[in-house]
């Protein structure tokens, strides 16, 4: 696994374009608000791809037809912030921490129907930890559906300049 100092915009956009078809098949609109470019983070790009894929895959899976999934990427002074919001079934407050555990599923019967193993979010959690980031889930706006928020640390300017000099 190669850690690269990278702008994540192309990776995020490619992954979303890949998932458009899956969303369309379920009559869910998948759109995104992403800047032209962002400051770099230290990242393993295929792992970041996995994070976006697993979160959006869930958003599509747990949102009924006619719903919406919106992804955004933003930069604040210290973090790169990725959000995946859906208008789906939501996650009751008492389950919000546990969904990141391996094999944990909120509604066992319904999840079995939906397919999968209950590992997607535990993998996401692990990757985010390895990148020095944070992840949590909250209610989407108006309390309909959920919003997953991933924060990845931006590289402090001095450190970024140093790594550029080394290469």
Residues forming the site for ligand ATP (CB under 6 A) = 54, 58-59, 61-62, 86, 88-91, 99, 104-107, 111, 116-122, 146
- Minimum Å distance from CB 111 to Mg ion? 9
Using CB under 5 A as the binding rule, the residues of this chain from 66 to 105 that contact Mg ion are none
| Angstrom distance (rounded) from CA 18 to CA 96 | 28
- Minimum Å distance from CB 152 to ligand ATP? 19
Place of tokens 């990427």: 73
Does the protein bind Mg ion through residue 146 (CB under 5 A)? no
Answer yes or no: are the C-beta atoms of 130 and 47 closer than 8 Å. Answer: yes
Q: How far are the Cα atoms of 96, 131, 157, 159, 160 from residue 166, in angstroms, in the given order?
A: 42, 21, 14, 11, 10
* Partner from ligand ATP, Mg ion, none contacting 144, C-beta within 5 to 8 A by type: none
* 79-86/134-139 β-pairing: unpaired
How many residues interact with Mg ion (rule CB under 5 A)? 2
Which positions lie near Mg ion, rule CB under 5 A? 58, 120
């Amino acid at each position: 696994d190669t850690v690269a100092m990278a702008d994540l915009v192309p990776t995020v956009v490619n992954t979303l374009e890949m998932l458009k078809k899956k969303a369309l098949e379920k009559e869910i609109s998948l759109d995104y608000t992403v800047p032209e470019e962002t400051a770099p983070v230290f990242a393993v790009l295929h792992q970041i791809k996995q994070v976006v894929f697993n979160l959006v895959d869930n958003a599509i899976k747990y949102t009924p037809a006619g719903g919406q999934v919106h992804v955004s990427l933003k930069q604040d002074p210290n973090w790169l912030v990725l959000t995946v919001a859906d208008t789906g079934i939501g996650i009751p407050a008492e389950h919000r921490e546990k969904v990141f555990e391996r094999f944990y599923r909120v509604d066992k019967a319904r999840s079995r129907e939906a397919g999968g193993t209950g590992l997607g979010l535990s993998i996401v959690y692990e990757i985010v930890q390895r990148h020095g980031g944070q992840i949590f889930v909250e209610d989407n706006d108006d309390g309909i559906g959920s919003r997953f928020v991933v924060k990845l640390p931006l590289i402090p300017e001095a450190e970024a300049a140093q790594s550029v000099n080394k290469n």
